[in-house]
Amino acid sequence: MSSNSRPRTCKQYTIGLITALAIELAAVNAMLDENHDPPQDFVAKDDNNYQFGRIASHNVVIASLPAMIYGKVSAATTVTRMATSFPDIRFGLLIGIGGGVPNKELGLDIRLGDVVVGVPGGRVGGVVQYDLGKATDRGFKRTGTLAMPPKGLLSGLNTLNAKHEREDSRIPVLIQDAFQKYPKLKTSTPGYSFQGAENDRLFEASYEHVDGSKCDPCDINQTVHRDEREHPEKPRIHYGLIASGDSVIKNAIIRDSIARVLRDETDVNCLCFEMEAAGLMEFPCLVVRGVSDYADSHKNDRWQRYSAITAAAFAKELLQTLVAKDVEAIDSVKEILQGMNQYSSLQNRKTNS
């Protein structure tokens, strides 16, 4: 991978990549085809720490949340600053890990290391804030939903999805390419490599974790029977609803209860829980999450790095599918936010008149 310091301008960076954890940032960096020095006209206008590079034909700018400061407020601050410093960005990809919501009855065979992509469906745009709403005469109504990603991005996503109907995803290949460039990713413990199907155990929702950071003392007879995958090292990609909120979900009963309510409200299956996407409600964005746990009391850190790199590899595969001129044809974040502000001002004038 070459480092290229040729003169560039901020206008040439059209895609923003956002991460929360250091392991997510490392995974995204490992997917860059080229590292860049800051653009010649870049002037730091905020406290974000930006990194620059290229994936396929796209110049990307990476912003990560401050260390140990997670959640939707931190995410909102980060992307607002990014939109100000790089107004020609067309959209963002929020890349990282989350808690999966498997459901055998619904046929949701979600496993550790799989990738969940938040896409529009039913009555929502791909992400819903499950802990925000208001009381109405018909009950509690969810009010926090992420805006639909740009059509140009969704078209690329559909192209990639169709490609995967014909051939396997390139996620494993892209991960191996990253290991060639950065061997430490593979050799560190726990590393960014596949952690073994024998270490992926889904327990019955009613069975609580026994003790300690690992599940060695937990009763193996309380695991949910799942058929072995022919190639467990090849993560599957799931498209559906991602639930975002202020709390880490560590209880399978609560996980399933919230997922059931969201399914009834939206007509879409909830596939994943996470904490940052709710802060990106006004930022055109696609949320990509690698499943690192099952949002239950048995969660631990073992699968986090592998799940982070599967999400990053999917993001790279998606960007390889998108054509640069199609991305440039999408309205910039600046134009979108200006339009929203004008609409809001118009509505306020109508209300006050």
Candidate from 65-69, 219-223, 324-328 with smallest mean pLDDT: 65-69
> Residue 4 CA to chain centroid, in angstroms?
28
Candidate from 108-117, 164-173, 187-196 with smallest mean pLDDT: 187-196
- For residue 308, the surrounding DSSP H or E stretch is helix 304-321
Q: What is the mean pLDDT of residues 153-159?
A: 95
Share of the chain above pLDDT 70, in %: 89
Question: Percent helix, strand, coil in the chain (nearest 5)?
Answer: 35, 25, 40
Neighbours of 316 (CB within 10 A): 27
pLDDT at res. 278: 85
Dihedral (Cα; 100, 24, 151, 268), 10-degree rounding: 10
pLDDT at res. 131: 81
CATH of the domain at 170: 3.40.50.1580
- Amino acid present at 174: L
Each residue's pLDDT tens digit, 129-149: 888 654 445 544 555 567 788
Q: Is the pLDDT of residue 316 over 90?
A: yes
Q: Is the pLDDT of residue 351 over 60?
A: no
> Residue 199 CA to chain centroid, in angstroms?
23
Q: Give the domain extent around 116.
A: 2-352
pLDDT at res. 110: 98
* CA atoms of 96 and 305, how far apart (whole Å): 9
pLDDT-derived band at 340, boundaries 50, 70, 90 = very low
Q: What is the mean pLDDT of residues 295-313?
A: 96
pLDDT at res. 170: 98
Phi/psi of residue 158, each to 5°? Answer: -65, -40
- For residue 263, the surrounding DSSP H or E stretch is helix 252-266
Q: Is the pLDDT of residue 166 over 80?
A: yes
Q: Is the pLDDT of residue 100 over 90?
A: yes
pLDDT-derived band at 291, boundaries 50, 70, 90 = very high
pLDDT at res. 344: 38
Nearest to 121 by CA among 154, 94, 99: 154
Residue 99, C-beta contacts closer than 8 angstroms, at least 6 positions apart? 248, 249, 255, 272, 273, 274, 291, 292, 293, 294, 295, 296, 299
Each residue's pLDDT tens digit, 60-85: 999 998 876 777 888 888 988 998 88
Cis peptide before 190 (omega within 30 of 0): yes
Number of domains in the chain: 1
Q: Is the pLDDT of residue 157 over 80?
A: yes
pLDDT at res. 347: 37
